[in-house]
Structure 1
Amino acid sequence: MTSTRFLTSDDVADLATPGDYVDAVRDGYRQRGEGAPAEPRTKHLNADPPGMLTGYSAVLPETGAMGGYMYAAGFGAEDAWFVTPLFDAESGEPLAVLDGASMNPFKTGAAGAVGVDALARADANHVALIGSGAQARGQLRATVTVRDVETVDVYSPTKEHRESFAAEMNESLDASVAAVASSSAAVEEADVVITATTASEPVFDGDLLADGAHVTAMGQYDPEKRELDATTIERATYVPDLRERATQDAGSFIHAVEEGVVTEDHVHAELGEVVAGEAPGRESPDEVTVFDSGGTGIETVAAAHMLYERAAERDLGTEIDFAPASEALTGR
């Protein structure tokens, strides 16, 4: 038997700061840029009852861990469950199983922040945020760890939501956070634009982007949905989390290709290649850049292993036993 640590969402909720997540995820993407294996998500849909089963995986050799995410959403419950198995990259033994719900906005926000750090101008200090949910919170809390953000303009369609978000963030961040009445008002003068929505159609006009702006789009994991219009993709140096995902489920990129404004060769590099120095990031102050973040096992494994190590140091969680195949596959 192998002893494995089961960690609840509460066990891991306060083990790391947004900056800690960013550091772990940045290193994970560096390893990917140097050749670490990772695969895009697979998604299985069910019609009756309606629901979705999704999974993705990665191996981070230097971290010494591998694993990923599997989550189910819908199926009559109108909710979701996130399971993160974590294995030792050398022995293959299971290290931990995490309830991944509480880390989700933080590890996803960290991936967005790594994109900002790799691609935005060093002097970027004005952020536009489209969205006001949990993922928007994660993105903003992580982004302020990589840039000296002074001003944040937040827009979401529901006035009460954007105003309550701005009030909450004003209390917890040093930046000045204001709710604005339209995405256009948020985007026009922004150095960094972050989209954290479930939108099916573009949430701003790409012609409004200032020269030199960076865009992080994190709601991009369905070929039929797009947060960014073709103009934004056409104008930008385009960097996805995984190159293979750009033509699989990155809706904004797929639509831009279908509209004929770019070809598949428009993919500049994967984020990991930029982080590892294998490909250039921003090359001029006026360049528009896009990081298309649809979610990968890279940030999941990096964040989960960090939390696992910290939980083990504090003896948090519950020990459970797994039988190796040599013992369990008896054929009886």
Structure 2
Amino acid sequence: MSTALFLSSAEIAELARPEEYVDPVRAGYRERGHGAPAEPRTTLFSDAPAGMLTGYLAILPETGAMGGYTYAAGFEDRDAHFALPLFDADSGAPLALLDGASMNPHKTGAAGAVGVDALAPVDASDLAVIGSGTQARGQLRATATVREFDRVEVYSPTQSHRQAFAAEMNEELDATVAAVASSAAAVEGADVVITATNADEPVFDGEMLDPGTHVTAMGQYHPGKRELDTTTIERATYVPDLRARVTQDAGSFIHAVEEGVVDEDHVHAELGEVLVGDAPGRESPDDITVFDSGGTAIETVAAGKMLYDRAVEAGVGEEIDFAPASEAMDR
């Protein structure tokens, strides 16, 4: 009989601060750059009741873990539930089962921050955030640890939401965080732009991007999700988290291909390839760069292993039994 550690959402929330996700996620993407296996999401849709079931996988040998993220969203419950099974990368034995909802904005924010650190100008001081929800908070908290921003402009369609976001983040960050009345006002003059939305149409005009701007888009996880316009894709050095998902669910890139603006050769490199030096990131101060962060098991497994290690050290979690197949099937 094998044992694994079950970690509840509440326990996970106490194990690490948002900024502590960045280093393990960076290490995970470096492993990917050295050839660690990872696959993009598989998504199954249901019409009655409406919902989707999604999962993706990765093996990180140096981290010592493998696993994936599975979540159900919608259906009759009209909610989302996240599960992260984690296995030892050498033995294959189960390590943990994580109730993965509370870690989601932090691991996703960390991936965005790693992209900013690899691709954005080193002296970036002005940040635009499009979106004011949980994911936007996760992106901002993590990104603020890799660049010293003086000013952050946030826009989302609901005035009260963007104002509440600005007030909350002003209390947390050294930068001045201001709510603005349009995405154009946020993007104008920005060194870094983060989009954290569920938009079906572009959230800003790519012509507004100054030379040298970096864009991180994290709402690109479905062919119909399209935060960035074709102009932004065309102008940019385009770096996804996983090359294999670009034509599968990276909505803005898919649309740009369909419009004939770019083809698959426009993909510059995966993030991991940039991190290990197999491909350059920013080659010129005037380069416009895009990190398309649609979500992978790379950041999920890397973050999950960090949380598991901390839980073991702190004596947190509940041990649960797993029967190996050699025992369970021999009955």
Q: What TM-score, normalized to structure 2?
A: 0.99
Between the aligned partners of 1:305 and 1:5, the Cα distance in structure 2 is: 12
Runs of 4+ in 1 over 2 A off after TM superposition: none
Between the aligned partners of 2:99 and 2:27, the Cα distance in structure 1 is: 23
Between the aligned partners of 2:149 and 2:101, the Cα distance in structure 1 is: 27
Alpha carbons 1:18, 1:145 under 8 Å: kept: no
Q: Does the alignment pair 1:266 with 2:266?
A: yes
Matched residue type, 1:260 = G
Matched residue type, 2:196 = A
Shift of 1:19: 2.5
Between the aligned partners of 1:24 and 1:9, the Cα distance in structure 2 is: 19
Partner residue of 2:168? 168
- CA-to-partner distance for each residue in 1:202-235, whole Å, 9 max, x for gaps? 0000000111000000000111220000000000
Shift of 1:18: 2.5
Aligned residues: 331
SS in structure 2 opposite 1:194?
A: strand
Partner residue of 1:76? 76
Matched residue type, 1:289 = T
Q: Does the alignment pair 1:12 with 2:24?
A: no
Q: Does the alignment pair 1:159 with 2:159?
A: yes
- 1:115-194 equivalences under 5 Å are 115-194=115-194
- CA-to-partner distance for each residue in 1:131-167, whole Å, 9 max, x for gaps? 0000000000000000001100000000000000000
Unaligned runs of 5+ in 1: none
Matched residue type, 2:22 = V
Between the aligned partners of 2:146 and 2:266, the Cα distance in structure 1 is: 27
Between the aligned partners of 1:78 and 1:159, the Cα distance in structure 2 is: 26
Alpha carbons 1:25, 1:298 under 8 Å: kept: yes
Between the aligned partners of 2:204 and 2:214, the Cα distance in structure 1 is: 14
Between the aligned partners of 2:142 and 2:15, the Cα distance in structure 1 is: 15
Shift of 1:264: 0.7
Shift of 1:67: 0.3
Between the aligned partners of 2:221 and 2:262, the Cα distance in structure 1 is: 19
Matched residue type, 2:192 = V
Q: Does the alignment pair 1:198 with 2:198?
A: yes
- 1:230-269 equivalences under 5 Å are 230-269=230-269
Indicate the larger mover: 227-236 or 275-284.
275-284
Indicate the larger mover: 297-306 or 14-23.
14-23
Matched residue type, 2:219 = G
Q: Does the alignment pair 1:319 with 2:319?
A: yes
Matched residue type, 1:57 = L
SS in structure 2 opposite 1:6?
A: strand
Between the aligned partners of 1:181 and 1:253, the Cα distance in structure 2 is: 27
Partner residue of 1:53? 53
Between the aligned partners of 1:173 and 1:68, the Cα distance in structure 2 is: 32
Shift of 1:17: 2.1
SS in structure 2 opposite 1:92?
A: coil
Indicate the larger mover: 17-26 or 58-67.
17-26
Q: Does the alignment pair 1:36 with 2:36?
A: yes
Matched residue type, 2:112 = G
Between the aligned partners of 1:167 and 1:225, the Cα distance in structure 2 is: 29
- CA-to-partner distance for each residue in 1:295-318, whole Å, 9 max, x for gaps? 000000000000000011011010
Indicate the larger mover: 17-26 or 150-159.
17-26
CA RMSD of superposed structures (Å): 0.6
Between the aligned partners of 1:265 and 1:141, the Cα distance in structure 2 is: 33
